[in-house]
């Protein structure tokens, strides 16, 4: 343990060979980066590793030179007090080169070695530069896309992509169009002249997926007439919708999805701070949407400067310093890299124990009559036994998309709430619906949200109810602890707006996964509750769905895209 003042950071998970020196006294961060640029296609793991091999010694040399120049301590002191490196996630061959370099340096300089999780570093640099206490974090990078919030000593994954990272999804589209890597900035530039065309929009609670929208985008560009893509008269080299329009609409939908799930995470955790991390965070439209959403909720938003958003060793050095300060260092023999290193595997040693500020200030006390959910404003009249719900326009979304979503969800919510009751799942009786105005009127049910009354018995009820729904071919779409109302005797499901009809086992498993993640995000000790959901599900449902759920959970999503 030490009063660290200077830490060397080394980053090289995929494309950025980067070294940095963080001075914790002055808060100054020096970064030297050498980027790998593929000749064609996407990132080739072997070429990237060769790049690391050549470039890491160079950037480290420059960072150490900077450290020596700005060092006024005794000449024989090491230029830095610790060496921190990205342990994962990332490409194995790249990580191993960085790991070897970091170990060798720590040994030569005789200073501690710190192993940093790259995704947690993307988050912490935002928390550090914003000086936020307990934010929700949206990591929007090449190989990843997820929402993180701190609870009980870990960063919990509240929601994430079900397929590729957001940057990789965009880069795949640009490769299809024939543009060079990386595609994100090119899509951003092309979008400036674009107009909106309909593309798929897929969120499941706080999870989301990009595969549908990406194939639809490629098809639109090529001139295929898949589903609802309106292929207009074409001056596109692809023969379909003009590429500017596809780029514009891709951004509107993909970033709209990320903004929506971020808002849902703020609503669920009760946090009023959001930070952005990752290379896609350099996109001005994404930042604009997030800022607008936060502004309208009265939440604070922070995006670090671009040099801290894209992969960089500065964020590794800054988090490395915090870890070193509390003695969270590695013995050489324990310092192996991990290509699938998940952020929720990291014991968060450097933060004050939770003030537990992320609690229920957003959930209404019984007396309050107006609740703002993530989507809607809900007026509660318990005495009259009714509630009125109105999905408000989201100004961050394209008006055409916004109108479509509000109308569709209102209609679905009305229909599925009633269908579910007929199947024997307790839900509020529908009194009235007006899809054009996005208004619904329901019976008032329950005494409290499940979030504030969590018990194994109630959670088992939810498991049973979900199983019943799935047997009837319905998914809820957003089963969270705020979308369940409870009394001593009954457990009601509400808010079916993201629901739909399907016979895909995968979708049923996802429904359970969404509920699981909300337990992990809201309960201090989620394990017994997670077991209880499964017990309840087993009583009324199909074991095959639970098996699929295990697959869903095991899927490693931290694989940088192969070319
Ligand atoms: C594990 C690690 O290796 C990986 N790194 C990574 O993905 O690099 P990062 O620098 O965070 O993000 C790169 C991505 O960021 C996208 N990007 C860069 N500028 C962009 C822009 N203006 N708009 C949209 N995307 C942009 C690129 O297209 C590319 O897909 C990660 O953090 O997931
Ligand atoms: N029928 C009802 N009876 C009692 N309370 C209700 C009812 N419907 C909604 N509420 C209360 O209002 C809150 C918000 O409602 P709802 O989840 O439908 O809105 P939302 O904006 O879709 O929320 P989110 O997207 O954040 O889940 C619920 O968490 C619940 O506390
Ligand atoms: Fe990254």
Residues with Cβ within 6 A of ligand 2? 264, 267, 371, 373-376, 378, 380, 387, 389, 428, 442, 444-446, 449, 482-483, 485, 494-495, 497
Q: Which atom of ligand 1 is nearest to the CA of 310?
A: 10
13 CA to centre of ligand 3 in angstroms: 8
Classify residue 25: in a domain, yes or no: yes
Concatenated DSSP letters of 75-117: TTS-S-SEEEEEEESS-HHHHHHHHHHHHHHHHHHT--EEEEE
524 assigned to active site: no
Classify residue 352: in a domain, yes or no: no
Instruction: Give pLDDT, residue 224.
Output: 67
| 534 plus 390 within the same structural domain | yes
| 463 plus 529 within the same structural domain | yes
Q: What tokens were used for 350?
A: 């450097």
Instruction: Give pLDDT, residue 3.
Output: 60
Nearest to 211 by CA among 224, 220, 202, 223: 202
Classify residue 280: in a domain, yes or no: no
Q: Cα(231)–Cα(222) distance, rounded to whole angstroms?
A: 10
Nearest to 287 by CA among 178, 138, 472: 138
Q: Cα(217)–Cα(46) distance, rounded to whole angstroms?
A: 30
| 125 plus 146 within the same structural domain | no
| 39 plus 147 within the same structural domain | no
Catalytic-role residue among 23, 478, 495, 561? 478
Q: Cα(179)–Cα(236) distance, rounded to whole angstroms?
A: 14
| 378 plus 481 within the same structural domain | yes
Residues in the chain predicted with pLDDT less than 70, given as ranges, are: 1-4, 224-236, 354-367, 556-563
Q: Cα(540)–Cα(549) distance, rounded to whole angstroms?
A: 16
Where in the sequence is the domain holding 376, given as residue range(s)?
A: 363-554
Q: Cα(391)–Cα(380) distance, rounded to whole angstroms?
A: 15
| 400 plus 315 within the same structural domain | no
Q: What tokens were used for 101?
A: 């370099």
430 CA to centre of ligand 2 in angstroms: 14
| 521 plus 393 within the same structural domain | yes
Nearest alpha carbon, ligand 2 atom 14 = 373
Q: Cα(94)–Cα(143) distance, rounded to whole angstroms?
A: 14
The response to whether residue 143 sits with its C-beta less than 6 Å from ligand 1 reads yes
Nearest to 310 by CA among 1, 13, 91: 13
- State how many domains the chain has: 3
Q: Which residue among 319, 336, 353 closes a domain?
A: 336
Q: Which atom of ligand 2 is nearest to the CA of 377?
A: 21
| 465 plus 530 within the same structural domain | yes
Q: What is the CB neighbour count within 10 angstroms for residue 192? A: 11
Instruction: Give pLDDT, residue 95.
Output: 98
Cis before 219? omega within 30:
no
Classify residue 26: in a domain, yes or no: yes
Q: Cα(316)–Cα(301) distance, rounded to whole angstroms?
A: 22
The response to whether residue 171 sits with its C-beta less than 6 Å from ligand 1 reads yes
Q: What tokens were used for 434?
A: 């007006």
Instruction: Give pLDDT, residue 268.
Output: 87
pLDDT tens by residue, 532-556: 999 999 999 999 999 999 998 887 5
Nearest to 121 by CA among 372, 321, 286: 321
Is 377 annotated to bind a ligand? Reply is yes
294 CA to centre of ligand 2 in angstroms: 20
Instruction: Give pLDDT, residue 227.
Output: 47
The response to whether residue 240 sits with its C-beta less than 6 Å from ligand 1 reads no
CATH code at position 539 = 1.10.510.10
Classify residue 295: in a domain, yes or no: no
Q: Cα(159)–Cα(518) distance, rounded to whole angstroms?
A: 9
| 387 plus 513 within the same structural domain | yes
Instruction: Give pLDDT, residue 357.
Output: 45
121 CA to centre of ligand 3 in angstroms: 9
What is the interface pTM, i.e. ipTM, of the complex?
Answer: 0.95
Nearest to 97 by CA among 40, 161, 18: 18
Classify residue 501: in a domain, yes or no: yes
Q: Which of 204, 483, 498 to mutate to test the pocket of ligand 2 (most atoms within 8 A of CB)?
A: 483
In which residue are the tokens 């952005």 written? 276
Q: Which atom of ligand 2 is nearest to the CA of 442?
A: 1
The response to whether residue 185 sits with its C-beta less than 6 Å from ligand 1 reads yes
Q: What is the DSSP letter of 330?
A: B
Q: At what angle do helices 184-191 and 166-177 cross, to 10 degrees?
A: 70
Are the C-beta atoms of residues 152 and 351 closer than 8 Å to each other?
no
Instruction: Give pLDDT, residue 228.
Output: 45
34 CA to centre of ligand 1 in angstroms: 15
Whole-angstrom Cα Rg for the chain: 24
CATH code at position 231 = 3.30.420.40
| 68 plus 90 within the same structural domain | yes
| 374 plus 327 within the same structural domain | no
Cis before 408? omega within 30:
no
Classify residue 284: in a domain, yes or no: no
| 508 plus 385 within the same structural domain | yes
Classify residue 300: in a domain, yes or no: no
């Amino acid at each position: 343990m030490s009063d660290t003042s200077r830490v060397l950071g080394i980053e090289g998970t995929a494309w950025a060979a980067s070294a940095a020196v963080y001075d914790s006294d002055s808060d100054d961060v020096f970064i030297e980066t050498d980027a790998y640029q593929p000749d064609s296609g996407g990132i080739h793991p072997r070429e990237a590793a060769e790049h690391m091999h050549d470039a890491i010694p160079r950037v480290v040399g420059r960072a150490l030179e900077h450290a020596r120049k700005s060092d006024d301590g005794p000449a024989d002191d090491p230029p830095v007090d610790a060496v921190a490196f990205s342990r994962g996630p990332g490409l194995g061959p790249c990580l191993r080169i960085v790991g070897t370099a970091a170990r060798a340096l720590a040994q030569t300089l005789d200073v501690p070695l710190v192993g940093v999780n790259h995704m947690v570093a993307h988050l912490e640099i935002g928390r550090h530069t914003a000086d936020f206490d307990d934010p929700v974090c949206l990591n929007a990078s090449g190989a990843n896309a997820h929402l993180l919030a701190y609870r009980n000593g870990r960063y919990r994954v509240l929601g994430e992509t079900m397929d590729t990272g957001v940057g990789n999804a965009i880069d795949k589209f640009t490769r299809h169009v024939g543009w060079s890597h990386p595609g994100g900035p090119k899509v951003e530039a092309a979008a400036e002249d674009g107009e909106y065309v309909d593309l798929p929009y897929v969120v499941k609670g706080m999870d989301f997926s990009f595969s549908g929208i990406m194939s639809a985008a490629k098809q639109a560009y090529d001139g295929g007439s898949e589903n609802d893509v309106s292929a207009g008269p074409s001056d596109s080299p692809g023969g379909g919708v003009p590429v500017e329009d596809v780029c514009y609409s891709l951004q509107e939908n993909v970033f709209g999805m990320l903004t929506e799930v971020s808002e849902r995470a703020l609503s669920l955790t009760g946090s009023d701070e959001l930070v952005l991390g990752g290379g896609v965070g350099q996109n001005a439209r994404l930042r604009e949407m997030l800022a607008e959403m936060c502004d309208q909720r009265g939440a604070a938003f922070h995006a670090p400067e671009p040099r801290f958003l894209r992969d960089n060793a500065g964020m590794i050095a800054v988090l490395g310093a915090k870890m070193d300060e509390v003695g969270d260092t590695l013995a050489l023999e324990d310092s192996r890299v991990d290509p699938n290193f998940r952020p929720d595997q990291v014991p968060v040693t450097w933060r004050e124990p939770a003030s537990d500020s992320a609690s229920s200030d957003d959930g209404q006390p019984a007396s309050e009559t107006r609740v703002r959910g993530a989507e809607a404003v809900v007026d509660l009249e318990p005495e009259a036994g009714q509630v009125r719900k109105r999905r408000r326009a989201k100004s961050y979304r394209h008006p055409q998309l916004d109108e479509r979503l509000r109308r569709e969800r209102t209609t679905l919510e009305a229909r599925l709430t009633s269908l579910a009751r007929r199947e024997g799942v307790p839900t509020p009786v529908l009194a009235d619906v007006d899809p054009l105005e996005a208004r619904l009127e329901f019976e008032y049910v329950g005494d409290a949200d499940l979030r504030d009354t969590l018990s194994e018995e109630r959670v088992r009820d939810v498991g049973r109810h979900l199983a019943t729904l799935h047997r009837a071919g319905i998914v809820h779409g957003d089963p969270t602890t705020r979308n369940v109302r409870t009394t001593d005797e009954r457990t009601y499901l509400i808010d079916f707006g993201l629901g739909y009809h399907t016979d895909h086992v995968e979708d049923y498993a996802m429904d359970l996964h969404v509920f699981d993640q909300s337990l992990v995000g809201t309960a201090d000790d989620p394990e017994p509750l997670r077991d209880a959901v499964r017990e309840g599900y087993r009583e009324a449902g199909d074991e095959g769905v639970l098996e699929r759920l295990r697959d869903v959970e095991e899927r490693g999503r931290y694989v940088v895209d192969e070319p």
